[in-house]
């Protein structure tokens, strides 16, 4: 089972157990659980669910593993015959998250029914 989730304006394909590097989430602290509601697509074996905007009732739970910065990228600007050269560096901040669970309303109902049958 996998899902396509929108996190801070970008789309990510995630599965349960995946570790994903996303743009820095300022409100997230290490070790806390975050829930993403903007699920655009879910594939569960043979069944595919596509939302008009988002899939209703679908959520993705993730745990924040840590924060950091990516490798430095050098931007070099040069103008010919003018002796003009500039070097700028940039390190993109990121948040490392681990996907714990992908849930939908239909999947939650199936799990409840199976638990009821086991109890009886």
Rounded to an integer, what distance in angstroms lies between the CA atom of residue 25 and that of residue 16? 20
Q: Kindly list the domain boundaries of the chain, sorted by start residue.
A: 2-104
Q: What is the per-residue pLDDT for 105?
A: 77
Q: In what order do the strands lie in the sheet containing 47-50? A: 10-15, 2-7, 39-44, 47-50
Q: What is the per-residue pLDDT for 52?
A: 85
Query: Mean pLDDT in runs of 10 for the chain (120 residues)?
Result: 94 96 94 94 88 90 97 96 96 97 74 63
- pTM for the full predicted model: 0.78
Q: Give the three-state DSSP class for 61.
A: strand
The total number of residues shown for the chain amounts to 120
Rounded to an integer, what distance in angstroms lies between the CA atom of residue 117 and that of residue 35? 29
The token pair at 33 is 């659980």
Q: What is the per-residue pLDDT for 6?
A: 95
């Amino acid at each position: 089972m996998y899902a396509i989730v929108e996190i801070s304006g970008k789309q990510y394909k995630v599965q349960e157990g995946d570790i994903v590097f996303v743009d820095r989430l300022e409100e997230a602290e290490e070790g806390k659980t975050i829930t993403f509601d903007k699920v655009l697509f879910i594939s569960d074996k043979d069944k595919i669910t596509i939302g008009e905007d988002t899939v209703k009732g679908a959520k993705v739970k993730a745990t924040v593993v840590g924060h950091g910065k990516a490798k430095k990228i050098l931007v070099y600007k040069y103008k010919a015959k003018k002796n003009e050269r500039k070097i700028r560096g940039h390190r993109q901040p990121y948040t490392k998250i681990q996907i714990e669970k992908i849930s939908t309303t239909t999947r939650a109902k199936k799990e409840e029914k199976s638990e009821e049958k086991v109890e009886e």
